[in-house]
Amino acid sequence: MNQIPSFVPNYSVADYQTWPGDWELWNGVPIAMGPSPFLPHGALAATLA
């Protein structure tokens, strides 16, 4: 059976620096990040931890 190779884009830090929004670059693969928690949420999370 023939397998179709999957394409995984590989970006550089220069590419990453031009993107709007919250992103991280993991081994050249872009990962969209959610917004950081605000103070009440962060305080509650710290208390629970």
**32 is a domain residue:** yes
Boundaries of domain holding 37: 13-48
Domain count, the chain: 1
- Please report the pLDDT score of residue 48 as a whole number: 86
CA 17 – CA 29 distance, rounded (Å): 14
**34 is a domain residue:** yes
Report pTM.
0.49
pLDDT tens for each residue of 1-49: 677 767 777 898 898 889 888 888 888 888 888 776 667 777 888 888 7
**20 is a domain residue:** yes
- Please report the pLDDT score of residue 46 as a whole number: 83
**35 is a domain residue:** yes
CA 25 – CA 40 distance, rounded (Å): 28
Based on its alpha-carbon atoms, the radius of gyration of the chain, rounded to whole angstroms, reads 17
- Please report the pLDDT score of residue 27 as a whole number: 85
- Please report the pLDDT score of residue 6 as a whole number: 78
Which amino acid, residue 23?
Answer: W
**42 is a domain residue:** yes
**6 is a domain residue:** no
- Please report the pLDDT score of residue 1 as a whole number: 61
**25 is a domain residue:** yes
Per-residue HEC secondary structure of 9-36 comes to CCCCHHHHCCCCCCEEEECCEEEECCCC
